[in-house]
Each structure stands twice: as structure tokens, then as C-alpha cells.
Amino acid sequence: MKKAKWLVAAATVLAMAVAVGCGGDKKAADTTKTVSKAKGEVMVYTSIYPDIIDNICKPNISKAFPEMKVSWFQGGTEKVVTKITGEIKADKVGADLLMVADPSYYLKLQDEKRLMNYVSPNLKDVVSAKDKDGAWAAVRISNMIIAYNTDKLKAEEAPKSWQDLTDPKWKGKIAMPSPLLSGTAYVAVGALADKYGWEYFDKLKANGIRVEQGNSAIQNKLLTGEYAAAMILEENILKLAATKKEPLKVIYPSDGVIVIPSPIAIMSTTKNADGSKAVMDWWLSKEGQQAVVKGWMHSVRGDVEPPTGAPALKTFIEKSVKVDWKKLANENAKIKEEFRVRVME
């Protein structure tokens, strides 16, 4: 895994890049001049939420590529991985472009020679994680945080750290998404197990933590008051707070946010390499990254503002929880089984 060695320290690299604000040559124009000439069909497999695809991705992509048909298969990261795994076995991979949450999965695909090396002209402006040969590059940054309902809890009462969730006062009132279904939850579990040991999850189990299928189920139960606090994606809370004025608030844990630089990559089996490259160029352009931010995720560029209601990454990236991406790639089944036995049985 020579090409991916740097990823073990990806959080540190990302922290340094964002902290210093390096975004390449800000005066250089984004490479979007040829996108309108792209033709044919491109299929994108993604874990981006359906409403973001329908309201942001599809309209922007259609405008950028009027002569190309871009189709989408949406599902949680694990659903998409299962689909691709089956297609690889059948030698019938349907995806041209892949945009799922878990960066470690791309390392596995890269080792198996399943990704096309393509150094997009816009890669120079990506300040987040990226492969030097262009096999993949971060295209959106999601953050696992803690959230609570401000109608149910006062700010001073809410948990301030991941460790606080083990406090008996939250017994039966906390939740998290399942790492067996969610790529971001899988990253969070792996990172916290490395930071605090698996005993941390034993404590959460003893404290009655509920494991939900996904982030959406958790946000709804935070609203009803069924849960007092929860581990959840920042983007879910930002969206509800800004668009529906719901009384939900993000806590950036004092012991570290879990930062997830989710990549984009072109499958080596793509039937439309030129079209796939053009779409990748667009996503990494300033215009494409502004669309990412409208979807309540953070940009991978240094010249795009954070989503509404969120602080800049540089305010918390240096203290983020370190993630061993190589370990997550190599020990996927082991980590999931450990979690299942300790928390879900």
C-alpha cells in the first residue's frame, strides 16, 4: 500500500493544510471550460443524502453538462459497498464515479487496482486528503459530532465530550448510528476505539446507548426528546437548524471532532472516462465545492466558506481525533464484529 502510506496521518496533514489556509493558487481559474462538451452517460454511486442529490446535485450537474446524462445510485455507504462488491464478482461494475463516505474503502479499491489514476487540474486547490497519483481525492468533509435539543437541555447541561456520554445521567437517553450501515459511523467507531480502547463502548453499552440505522432516525428522536444527546453527523443538525429552525445544536467535542474527508474516485472500469473526468473536475472546482457547502458539508478547498451555522474547519481540525485509515481499510470486518458483540448483543 505504498501509494497510501500518507493516509495513516491524514488528519494531521489535513489539519496543517486547513490551518494555514493553503488552497493552491487562488488566482488560477478552475478547470470548467470543457465540461459542457462532455457527452455520453455517467453513473454515480453515492451516499450523499437523496434530498441533496435531488435539490443540489442534479440541477447543478445538469446545468454544467447539458449534453451528458448523469444518473445516480444512492444508498448508505455500506449499501453501496455491498452493491459494488457484488458487481465486481460478476465483472459488471455499473459505477463510473464513486462518492461514498468512508475514505478507507478507497484504499481497498486502490490496492485492488479498481480506481483510475486521474490528476484533475483542480486537485492543486484541494487542501484536504488526496492521492498523489489522483486515484481519489476528498470531495466533501463531514464531521461526527454530538448534538442536543436546546428545548430539552440548557447549554451548560449538555455533554461536552465523547467521554461525557458515559456519564450515568445520560443512561438510556443517548444514541449513535450503526457502523454496520453507516460509513461515517464506522469511521467514528474505529477512531474512538483507538483513542479510548474498546472499553469505551462497553461503557456506552452499560449506559444504555441505542444504535439506530442512520443519522436521520437519530435527528428525529432528538427532536421528540426521546434522546437527550447523540453522536451524529454535523450536516444533519446544521440543515435542520438553518432551514426549519429546529432547536438542535452542534457540540464540537472537547476531546476531538471526528473529521471525515470523503473522497471521489473514477472506477477503472468506467465506460466513459472523459465524462467521468469532467464530472470530477466540476466537483473539485470552486463552483462544485460551493454546491457541497449548500449540502451542509464542508469544502475541501481553502477558498470556499463553511456551511451556514458552522465554524471554519481550522477552528477544530487541529484537535480532531486521529484516524488510522489503513487500519480501517484492513480490519473492516474485525472492527464491525467487535462493535456488534460489545454493543449490539
Span 2-141+260-319: which CATH code? 3.40.190.10
Length of the chain: 345
Do residues 120 and 281 touch, judged by C-beta distance below 8 A? yes
Residue 31: pLDDT above 60?
Answer: no
> Which option is the CATH number for 142-258+327-344: 3.40.190.10, 3.30.750.210, 3.40.50.1370, 3.10.100.10?
3.40.190.10
Cell numbers placing 283: 466537483
Indicate where the chain has its CATH 3.40.190.10 domain(s): 2-141+260-319, 142-258+327-344
**pLDDT given for residue 37 in this prediction:** 74
DSSP of 207-269, one letter per residue? TT-EEESSHHHHHHHHHHTS-SEEEEEHHHHHHHHHHS--SEEEE--TT--EEEEEEEEEBTT
Whole-prediction pTM: 0.89
Give SS3 for 195: helix
Residue 14 has a pLDDT of 41
Is-contact 255 321, C-beta < 8 A? yes
Q: Are strands 40-46 and 68-74 parallel, antiparallel or unpaired?
A: parallel
The H or E element spanning position 68 is: strand 68-74
Tens digits of per-residue pLDDT, 180-215? 999 999 999 999 999 999 999 999 999 999 999 989
User: With pLDDT > 70 as the criterion, what percentage of the chain qualifies?
Assistant: 90
